[in-house]
Structure 1
Amino acid sequence: MPTLHYRLVISNGEPNSVAVSSNGLVGVAVAVDPKQDNGLAMFFDTDGTLVGSITAGALPDMITFTNDGTKALVANEGEPDDDYVVDPVGSVTVIDVSDTTSLTATQVGFTSFNSQMATLEANGVRIFGPGATVAQDLEPEYIAVAGDDSTATIVMQENNAVATLDLSTNTITGIHALGFKDYSTLSLDLSDRDGGVNFQSWDNVKGMYQPDAMTSFVASDGITYYVSANEGDARDYDGYSEEERADDLSLDATSFPNGVSDADLGRLKTTTADDCGDTDGDGDIDFICSYGARSFSIWKYDSNGDFVQVWDSGDEVEHLMAVNDQWLNSYTGSRNDDKGSEPEGVITGEFAGKTLAFVALERSGGVMIYDVTNPAYPFFVQYVYMHDHVSPEAMAFVSGADSPNGAPMLIVANEVSGTVAVLQPLI
């Protein structure tokens, strides 16, 4: 039975993320009030003693370490205030933690991309905050480090993009749009007012991948692959909101000859920001842009340095949740008009010669387990539904070698219930 070893009290801000390095250093990303001010990265030893802290960027939202434990990386989201008047730049803080008595940090931003706004938008990067520069609009959410520590991939959820950070020079070398998922080839339920579970394909409806969490693993071919939980997210502030319902859109009559109703697409949350879905520029919507992809995906960098999709779970997560009687009570049909089961967190781990991906479903309250040993052909293994644990948010995998009972463990932090669950996978 796990026991509480110690509790860290962060008195000078709000801890948003915690990570432990391979050298046993505990890092905490701390946001301050107001969150538009620069936050902190704080470091503790495994007994809870503060060994150092250093300034990060605005709204530190996630912290992680390189595999060798010599660098800490902080994703500073840089969200605006609720009036959308103060909009700090998004950034990544790279911290040399090889000597905790003398921490040094490099703030890596996107100012050099301000002049490339038109090109980035043309390539599919969402840049749409009122009056924002590229550097202000890009909002780093999560970080995944390559297996050889050469680069880190920075997730920017609202922008539906990732950036590549060269860890040898601490510079951003590229920004890559993640594109859309075509719902015409899938079977999904996109309404909460259709009287039940009604899966069908949808012409002229697409999902923006918009991952929240991302993790990486090295496959047998020696390539680093990246696994994303495609939750989706909108900007919704008092001073600016991009959210629209589909039945409030001016829809193209050719694409939607029968219009939409609450029983089909009418209540689907969508956006018209950056003219999303207006392919011919005539002011009406030719395809509906929805938030998230209701899935998880596997990506890699190709030989040209482009970030490309290797595999996506398609509509499988939603179908597994909805059609199996054992899990039906956890299927949140009331969220079909929003983002479905909302894959929120993802982590990988090794067990019995296999690489497993664990995908936390925020709304359904459980964890999907997939075998991703072959990144091009993953397959479903198990769904773990935790009745007393609501809204899984973050996870940690403990290998068998590090586990107290010799078997691997998955530790799940659940946001709404305020609980921690410890699971052991059965393969």
Structure 2
Amino acid sequence: MTSPRRAVLILTLLLTACAQPGTPGVPPGPVITTTDFTAFDTPQGAGSIRLGRSGRLSVDAEPHFAAVSPDSRVAWVTLQNNNAVATVDIASGTVTDVRSLGLKDHRVPGQGLDASDYDRINIRTWPVQGMYMPDHIAHVAIGGRSYLLTANEGNPRDETLSSSDAVRVGTLTLDPAVFPDAASLQADTALGRLHVSRPDADTDGNGLADRLLSFGGRSVSVWDTDLALVADTGDAIERDLAARTPATFGSEGTISSFDTRSDDRGPEPEAVTTGVIAGRTLAFVGLERAGGIMVFDVSDPTTPTIVDYARFGDPTAAPDSGDAGDLQPDALLFIPATDSPGGQPLLVVSSEVSGSVTLYTVQDTGRLALTGRYQAAPFAFGQGVASMSAYDRTGKRLLVVNRVAAGLDILDLRDVTRPVKTGTLPLASYGRTPTWAAVRPDGLIAVAVETFPKTDPGHVLFLNADGTLRAPPVTVGALPQMLTFTPDGRKVVVVNAGEANSAGTVDPAGSVSILDVSRALAAR
């Protein structure tokens, strides 16, 4: 009998043609292998994985981000809405495992949260469990062992217009056997305003909510490569923000939005990347809602400690004025000193709401020193003008995804104190807009492009330094929102989110594509 996993190997979709037969130096084989999560649709395969309306992981999975092992053999892919991480074998292009990340217990001291936007600052324990629901994930080697770091943003599932994944605790009927103090818990200054998962609230089907699962861990977690939890930062991020920047606590980075996010995922750690500075391993974490970058020392992976917090901007300014500084950092890029134009390690912060790219020098202490900044003009609030940046070390430049221009803005970094825009690589003819870019050390550019509608298959482009096509576009899954070269440069891992349309009537499968670079470049 053929196993489900064997079946998915047989049915793996080959979306583009093979390299031309006889191409010198290029072995025959597929340019791309795309795999989905059909093998985990069985009850045994789904296990404790959080599913959506369909009850099938192949439909409900929406992959978000990938980290790749140093030997280029394994990719770990976050399934944010499913509160899970998938393991992908790169050589075969198959998903070999999907692990639920479990629940975070907010009843435990040190694991609290501020649950209400009506109570100013009130971080404490509550009878709530949090789904980690990470967005970005990073691999790091410490002491000869491999670990995974996740930024536990949280995100409700987009359902149809008549259905919602999220509901406020105050609107639920709580089971009195589990919550004897339901009346006080459901006060607006307690848990009443907190958004929790509607489908996960009633576990025994009696119409009463017997558990409260909130979205996101509001933390950074360290896992081993089998997805066993090594450490979690608990409520340290919220407590640090409350002490450093009380006027903007629970906000979207401005005083005018004070405490508006406490009921809805708090500071939202979204992006995470790592770097080694003066012998210490540091994790840099972008806080999407609170704004700014928090730096953790993870040299001892069992006890992450906060080193610094930095944010550029004027929190008294109106968010859409152009004067509030960096709003919603969406992607982080660490450039080691050996590759940096100025010979110092840099952290590049791309903020899509403010349309800005900010450069920090990472000091030996781990603290961030503001070095340079680029603000897109004209100012386009919340339109994704600078949603991520890729570094081309051969040209000492940043390639910045500009969703308004449907292209890659080029920033000259030869003077790191003054990033200067020198042009744009237009990509609109290949789809609606680019979503992510990566640059191989030799300067080869890979770009993920979504199409219209977003439920249609997207594309990956391979470009020369001047933006001309190096090879024909490669068709991948729906909404390719992230890609990365493997460390050996031979493959590209593409994360295809497969999000449903706004009405919920079309929901393509989430998937992962593995592209063979040499075969793609040899294709005609």
TM-score (norm. length: structure 1): 0.71
The verdict on how the C-alpha distance between 1:363 and 1:93 changes in structure 2, with shifts beyond 3 A counting, is farther
The verdict on how the C-alpha distance between 1:298 and 1:107 changes in structure 2, with shifts beyond 3 A counting, is same
Gaps of at least 5 residues in structure 2 are 1-11, 20-24, 252-258, 314-324, 366-524
Equivalent residue for 2:292, pick from 363, 366, 371? 366
Q: Deviations over 1:41-78 (max 9, x none)?
A: xxxxxxxxxxxxxxxxxxxxxxxxxxxxxxxxxxxxxx
1:423 aligns with 2:360: yes
Amino acid at match of 1:368: M
Deviation at 1:189, TM superposition (A): 1.3
1:345 aligns with 2:271: yes
1:108 aligns with 2:30: no
Q: Which residue of 2 aligns with 1:50?
A: none
Q: Is the 8 A contact 1:151 1:164 kept in 2?
A: yes
Q: Which residue of 1 aligns with 2:434?
A: none
Q: Which residue of 2 aligns with 1:127?
A: 51
Give me the whole-angstrom Cα distance separating, in 2, the residues matched to 1:92 and 1:218.
Answer: 33
Deviation at 1:198, TM superposition (A): 1.4
Amino acid at match of 1:422: L
1:215 aligns with 2:142: no
- Kindly report which structure 2 residues correspond to 1:252-331, keeping only aligned pairs within 5 A, or say none: 252-259=175-182, 260-273=186-199, 276-301=200-225, 306-324=226-244, 326=245, 328-329=247-248, 331=250
Q: Which residue of 1 aligns with 2:170?
A: 247
Deviation at 1:277, TM superposition (A): 3.6
Deviation at 1:404, TM superposition (A): 1.5
Q: Is the 8 A contact 1:215 1:226 kept in 2?
A: yes
Q: Is the 8 A contact 1:218 1:225 kept in 2?
A: yes
Q: Is the 8 A contact 2:39 2:45 kept in 1?
A: no
Q: Which residue of 2 aligns with 1:389?
A: 326
Give me the whole-angstrom Cα distance separating, in 1, the residues matched to 2:308 and 2:230.
Answer: 22
Give me the whole-angstrom Cα distance separating, in 1, the residues matched to 2:218 and 2:13.
Answer: 27
Amino acid at match of 2:218: R
Runs of 4+ aligned structure 1 residues displaced above 4 Å come to 90-99
Q: Which residue of 1 aligns with 2:68?
A: 145
Give me the whole-angstrom Cα distance separating, in 2, the residues matched to 1:152 and 1:286.
Answer: 36
Give me the whole-angstrom Cα distance separating, in 1, the residues matched to 2:275 and 2:285.
Answer: 12
Q: Is the 8 A contact 1:125 1:159 kept in 2?
A: yes
Q: Deviations over 1:335-358 (max 9, x none)?
A: 010000000100001111111100
The verdict on how the C-alpha distance between 1:156 and 1:364 changes in structure 2, with shifts beyond 3 A counting, is same
Q: Is the 8 A contact 2:130 2:216 kept in 1?
A: yes
Amino acid at match of 1:408: P
Give me the whole-angstrom Cα distance separating, in 1, the residues matched to 2:355 and 2:112.
Answer: 34
The verdict on how the C-alpha distance between 1:94 and 1:110 changes in structure 2, with shifts beyond 3 A counting, is farther
Q: Secondary structure at the match of 2:157?
A: coil
Give me the whole-angstrom Cα distance separating, in 2, the residues matched to 1:231 and 1:91.
Answer: 31
Q: Which residue of 2 aligns with 1:9?
A: none
Q: Is the 8 A contact 1:344 1:393 kept in 2?
A: yes
Amino acid at match of 1:226: L
Equivalent residue for 1:229, pick from 151, 165, 188? 151
Give me the whole-angstrom Cα distance separating, in 2, the residues matched to 1:356 and 1:392.
Answer: 18
Q: Secondary structure at the match of 1:278?
A: coil
Q: Is the 8 A contact 2:151 2:270 kept in 1?
A: yes
1:177 aligns with 2:177: no
Q: Is the 8 A contact 1:330 1:365 kept in 2?
A: no
Amino acid at match of 2:100: A
Q: Secondary structure at the match of 1:158?
A: helix
The verdict on how the C-alpha distance between 1:151 and 1:384 changes in structure 2, with shifts beyond 3 A counting, is same
Q: Deviations over 1:100-119 (max 9, x none)?
A: xx9810011112222x1x23
Q: Secondary structure at the match of 1:424?
A: strand
Give me the whole-angstrom Cα distance separating, in 2, the residues matched to 1:93 and 1:399.
Answer: 36
The verdict on how the C-alpha distance between 1:366 and 1:377 changes in structure 2, with shifts beyond 3 A counting, is same
Q: Percent identity?
A: 38
The verdict on how the C-alpha distance between 1:94 and 1:327 changes in structure 2, with shifts beyond 3 A counting, is farther
The verdict on how the C-alpha distance between 1:93 and 1:307 changes in structure 2, with shifts beyond 3 A counting, is farther
Q: Which residue of 1 aligns with 2:336?
A: 399
Q: Is the 8 A contact 1:236 1:243 kept in 2?
A: no
Q: Deviations over 1:247-277 (max 9, x none)?
A: 111211132223211111011111122xx14
1:187 aligns with 2:124: no
1:198 aligns with 2:125: no
- Larger RCO (alpha carbons 8 Å, 6+ apart): 2
Give me the whole-angstrom Cα distance separating, in 1, the residues matched to 2:201 and 2:126.
Answer: 14
Q: Is the 8 A contact 2:50 2:81 kept in 1?
A: yes
Q: Secondary structure at the match of 1:112?
A: helix
The verdict on how the C-alpha distance between 1:281 and 1:92 changes in structure 2, with shifts beyond 3 A counting, is farther
The verdict on how the C-alpha distance between 1:389 and 1:327 changes in structure 2, with shifts beyond 3 A counting, is farther
1:166 aligns with 2:86: no
Give me the whole-angstrom Cα distance separating, in 1, the residues matched to 2:63 and 2:208.
Answer: 31
Q: Is the 8 A contact 1:228 1:296 kept in 2?
A: yes
1:154 aligns with 2:77: yes
TM-score (norm. length: structure 2): 0.58
Deviation at 1:120, TM superposition (A): 4.4
Q: In angstroms, what is the RMSD of aligned CA positions?
A: 2.7
Q: Secondary structure at the match of 1:335?
A: coil
Give me the whole-angstrom Cα distance separating, in 2, the residues matched to 1:372 and 1:399.
Answer: 17
Give me the whole-angstrom Cα distance separating, in 1, the residues matched to 2:44 and 2:102.
Answer: 15
Give me the whole-angstrom Cα distance separating, in 2, the residues matched to 1:175 and 1:414.
Answer: 31
Deviation at 1:132, TM superposition (A): 5.3
Q: Secondary structure at the match of 2:340?
A: coil
Give me the whole-angstrom Cα distance separating, in 2, the residues matched to 1:95 and 1:257.
Answer: 62
Q: Is the 8 A contact 2:13 2:33 kept in 1?
A: no
Q: Is the 8 A contact 1:147 1:224 kept in 2?
A: no
Give me the whole-angstrom Cα distance separating, in 2, the residues matched to 1:417 and 1:187.
Answer: 31
Q: Which residue of 1 aligns with 2:5?
A: none
Gaps of at least 5 residues in structure 1 are 1-89
Amino acid at match of 2:98: I
Q: Is the 8 A contact 1:395 1:410 kept in 2?
A: yes
The verdict on how the C-alpha distance between 1:284 and 1:128 changes in structure 2, with shifts beyond 3 A counting, is same
